């Protein structure tokens, strides 16, 4: 659509994302002149004030970066510290950490699929409005979410900022019977997740495929949570310790979050789509089958289909949770204690939104002298802008309101967590018409 004069589309606040940001798109005729994902959430300087704190405090402090995925922070922090200190954790602790992460994935993915993202597909402003017409769907979602939270609460004491995760293990580990009590809930959750895959697969998806560099952890035997090599579909295959050799963070004027790029290549994508495409063979049979029946075959290159992939990951998390519950034998001690010592340690774990990198350097008193944290959303930030540059061009002829909603939907496909990345999203589309 071309014509005279300039049109500006503005949505002052893009909703249903975590944290505060804005999106600005400038269209000149059919051409996208500028895309900025502006993160105006004020910076909180975690990396600076972690200096001088004891290594044992890092899981508690970094959890406060994000109320949606505190466990991811606790896991990356604990693993990085364990590496710095040369600690080996008990296999039972490792299994409990996987279960802990299953709980967070179930809670976070359910929140996103049903309450933050589905309303876009069905034409509602929010899940509450959606509940008026789809009460049973929303009630099921709330029950599923609650089961995720129940797991987190059991292992961590509470849903948000759990208190039991520690460097070396947990402060307290559950009894076998306590985990057994989760079985009925997890079995129900597995069925509900399979229904979620079928339900999301029936939504309408815009036709939008991109050539992404997918980056995720990959482990020899399992779908990744806490360990593995960092790999991509373009040949990347590195250890966490090499992360900073291959990825670089750039500061851009319009954002309080740093943009991360693959050195020499540019933007990349982390999160459910990347994990699924790179680890399809590691999904349990039930999740793989559900994915194929939903028409998902790797590589999935349509970001809007992330909602279905998240549902497949829900199936995985429930199945994995059940496995953990069955296999669990309490460890001899809840955690291994470490003496203070000098060291440097890095770790990458899979937060619900994608890889989360932590690095710490410790002094002889076990105090942090340097910290670096790269959250998933700052890694996806540039990729979101790249997507919108392509996608907005397709929408250039659309009425402003619809185009804006579609752009918001694209951004929400990433489940951005801006509290993490500095930590709300405002969409602003400016259209400058060209003369014919």
Partner 1 sequence: MSSKSKHKPRIGVFKFASCDGCQLSLLDAEDELLGIAGAVEIAYFPEATRAMSKGPYDIGLVEGSITSYQDAQRIQEVRRQCRTLITIGACATAGGIQALRNWKDVDEFIRVVYASPQFISTLKLSTPIAEHVPVDFELRGCPINKYQFIELITATLAGRKPNVPSYSVCIECKRKANVCIAVVRGVPCLGPVTQAGCGALCPSYDRGCYGCYGPMETPNTAALTSQFRILGQADSQVARAFRGFNAWAWQFRKASEECERT
Binding-site ranges for partner 1 (CB under 8 A): 13-20, 40-49, 51, 53-54, 57, 60-61, 64-68, 70, 111, 115, 119, 125-129, 131, 138-139, 142-143, 145-146, 149, 157-161, 163-164, 166, 171-172, 250-251, 253, 256, 258, 334, 408, 417, 419, 423-424
What is d(CA 54, CA 63) in angstroms, rounded to the nearest whole number? 15
Give 9 or 287: the residue with its C-beta nearer to partner 1. 9
Q: C-beta of 174: minimal distance to partner 1 in Å?
A: 10
CB of 314 to partner 1, least distance (A): 16
Contact (Cβ atoms closer than 8 angstroms) between residue 349 and residue 79:
yes
Dist CA 370 CA 210 (whole Å): 37
Beta bridge partners of 6: 432
What is the number of residues in the chain? 436
CA dihedral for 380, 424, 37, 121, sign (positive or negative): positive
Residue number, 171 or 234, with CB nearest to partner 1: 171
Q: Quick one: 36 or 218, whose CB is closer to partner 1?
A: 36
Which residues have C-beta within 8 Å of that of residue 128, sequence separation ≥ 6?
none
- Least Cβ distance, residue 366 to partner 1 (angstroms): 11
Comparing CB distances to partner 1, the nearer of 140 and 282 is 140
Minimal distance, residue 12 CB to partner 1, in Å: 8
Q: How far is the CB of 157 from partner 1 (least distance, A)?
A: 4
Beta strands, E only, 220-338: 229-232, 237-238, 247-250, 259-262
- Please tell me whether residue 335 adopts helix, strand or coil conformation: strand
Nearer to partner 1 among residue 149 and residue 226 (C-beta): 149
Distance CA 354, CA 278 (A): 13
Minimum gap (Å) between residue 251 Cβ and partner 1: 5
Task: Output the smallest distance, CB 424 to partner 1, in A.
Answer: 5
Distance CA 404, CA 13 (A): 11
41 vs 222 by CB, closer to partner 1: 41
Consecutive H or E run containing 374 = strand 368-374
Instruction: Considering the complex, state which of residue 166 and residue 296 has its C-beta at the smaller distance from partner 1.
Output: 166
> What whole-number distance in Å separates Cα of residue 70 and Cα of residue 375?
12
CA torsion sign for 435, 11, 109, 236 is positive
Residue closer to partner 1 by CB (options 80, 425) is: 425
Going 298 to 16 to 204 to 110, the CA torsion angle's sign is positive
Report in angstroms how near the CB of residue 186 gets to partner 1 at its nearest: 16
Considering beta carbons, is residue 65 or 80 the nearer one to partner 1?
Answer: 65
Using DSSP, state whether 62 is helix, strand or coil.
helix
Q: Are 349 and 225 in contact (CB under 8 A)?
A: yes
Instruction: Tell me how far CA of residue 108 lies from CA of 17, 145, 157, 380, 408, in angstroms.
Output: 12, 8, 17, 18, 19
Question: Cβ 49 to partner 1, closest distance in Å?
Answer: 4
């Amino acid at each position: 659509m071309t014509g005279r004069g300039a049109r500006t589309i503005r949505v002052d606040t893009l909703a249903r994302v975590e944290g505060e940001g804005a999106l600005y798109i400038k269209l000149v005729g059919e051409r996208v002149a500028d895309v900025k994902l502006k993160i105006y959430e004020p910076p909180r300087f975690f990396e600076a004030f972690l200096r001088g704190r004891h290594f044992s405090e890092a899981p508690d402090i970094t959890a406060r970066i994000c109320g949606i995925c505190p466990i991811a922070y606790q896991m990356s922090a604990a693993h990085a510290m364990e590496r710095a200190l040369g600690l080996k954790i008990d296999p039972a602790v490792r299994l409990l950490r996987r279960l802990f992460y299953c709980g967070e994935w179930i809670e976070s993915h359910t929140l996103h699929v049903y309450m933050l993202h589905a309303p876009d597909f069905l034409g509602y402003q929010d899940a509450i409005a959606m509940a008026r017409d789809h009460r049973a769907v929303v009630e099921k979602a709330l029950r599923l979410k609650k089961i995720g939270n129940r797991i987190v609460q059991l292992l961590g004491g509470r849903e948000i900022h759990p208190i039991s995760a520690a460097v070396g293990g947990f402060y307290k580990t559950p009894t076998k019977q306590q985990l057994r009590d989760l079985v009925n809930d997890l079995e129900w959750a597995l069925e509900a997740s399979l229904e979620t895959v079928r339900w999301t697969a029936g939504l309408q998806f815009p036709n939008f495929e991109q050539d992404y560099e997918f980056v995720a952890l990959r482990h020899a035997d399992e779908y990744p949570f806490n360990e593995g090599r960092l790999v991509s579909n373009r040949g990347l295959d590195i250890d966490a310790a090499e992360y900073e050799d291959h990825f670089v963070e750039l500061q851009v004027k319009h954002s309080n979050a740093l943009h991360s790029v693959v050195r020499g290549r540019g933007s990349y994508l982390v999160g459910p789509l990347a994990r699924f495409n790179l680890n399809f063979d590691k999904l349990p049979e039930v999740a793989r089958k559900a994915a194929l029946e939903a028409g998902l075959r790797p590589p999935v290159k349509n970001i809007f289909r992330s909602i279905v992939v998240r549902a497949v990951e829900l199936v995985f998390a429930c199945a994995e949770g059940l496995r953990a519950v069955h296999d669990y034998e309490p460890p001899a001690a809840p955690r291994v204690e470490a003496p203070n010592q000098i060291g440097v340690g890095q770790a990458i774990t899979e937060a619900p939104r994608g890889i989360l990198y932590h690095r710490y350097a410790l002094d002889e008193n076990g105090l942090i002298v340097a910290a670096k944290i790269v959250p998933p959303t700052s890694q996806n930030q540039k990729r979101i802008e790249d997507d919108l540059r392509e996608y907005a061009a397709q929408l250039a002829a659309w009425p402003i309101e619809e185009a804006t909603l579609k752009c918001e939907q694209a951004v929400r496909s990433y489940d951005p967590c801006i509290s993490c990345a500095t930590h709300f999203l405002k969409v602003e589309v400016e259209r400058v018409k060209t003369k014919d």
